[in-house]
Amino acid sequence: MEITIRQKCNYLMMKKFGRLVDFEAVQSYSVNIRVEELEVQIMEKEYEHSQELKEWEKRISDLQQQLMKLTKENTSKLQQLNRFCFEKHQLETKLAALKNDMVSLQPLQVWGCSDMGKGSVIWPSPALWSHILLCCQQLGLIFPPKTRNQSSKQKRWVLKRTHCP
């Protein structure tokens, strides 16, 4: 039966085309429209993806530049903070040294105070001590305000420190 189908096919080819045609060769040369459409779609998608990839690469590059800029800014701020911490440490050290010096100073001498004997020694509170030191540095001697009852002939008392910077 296969021979008869093949013979019949050859007969019909001779009748229609005038010769025997190799359909396998024809199919290899012929254009498959669906395959061509799919290949065009593939090319379009590849182009779209390449454009999108370029956009992402540009965005990544921009973000890397921004990251580098922020890193440099933060580094400079950290260096500044480090300098400030170092200065703070130095100032705290100086302050501690000044406080130690203040504690070791001679006590205040009070002269001519009516309720104390002449030359009595008193120790002021730390807040009063810092205020007295500040006033001493700015003004020199410290006098109490005159009261109405006090006559000009009465002696005024003076707070005096043995060492004034």
Residue 141 lies in a domain: yes
Q: Is the pLDDT of residue 113 over 70?
A: no
Reported as a single tens digit per residue, the pLDDT across 74-111 is 999 999 999 999 999 999 998 888 877 765 554 544 44
Q: Is the pLDDT of residue 47 over 70?
A: yes
Q: What is the mean pLDDT of residues 152-162?
A: 43
Residue 117 lies in a domain: yes
Beta-carbon contacts of residue 163 (< 8 Å; ≥ 6 apart): 105, 106
CB distance 152 to 99 below 8 Å: no
pLDDT at 38 (0 to 100) = 93
Residue 40 lies in a domain: no
Looking at the 3D structure of the chain, how many domains does it have? 1
Q: Is the pLDDT of residue 146 over 80?
A: no
Average pLDDT, the chain: 76
Q: What is the mean pLDDT of residues 30-47?
A: 89
Residue 154 lies in a domain: yes
Q: Is the pLDDT of residue 34 over 50?
A: yes
pLDDT at 62 (0 to 100) = 97
Percent of the residues in the chain that have a pLDDT greater than 90, as a whole number: 33
Residue 130 lies in a domain: yes
Question: Containing domain of residue 148, as a range?
Answer: 107-160
pLDDT at 10 (0 to 100) = 86
DSSP 8-class letter at 159: E
Q: Is the pLDDT of residue 52 over 50?
A: yes
Q: Is the pLDDT of residue 32 over 50?
A: yes
CB distance 88 to 144 below 8 Å: no
Residue 65 lies in a domain: no
Residue 143 lies in a domain: yes
Residue 137 lies in a domain: yes
With both helix axes pointing from N to C terminus, report the angle between 33-103 and 126-139 in degrees, rounded to the nearest 10.
Answer: 80
Reported as a single tens digit per residue, the pLDDT across 2-22 is 678 888 888 888 888 888 888
Task: Compute the Cα dihedral for 36, 38, 44, 47 and give only its sign.
Answer: negative
pLDDT at 96 (0 to 100) = 84
Instruction: Tell me the C-alpha distance between 124 and 133, whole Å.
Output: 11
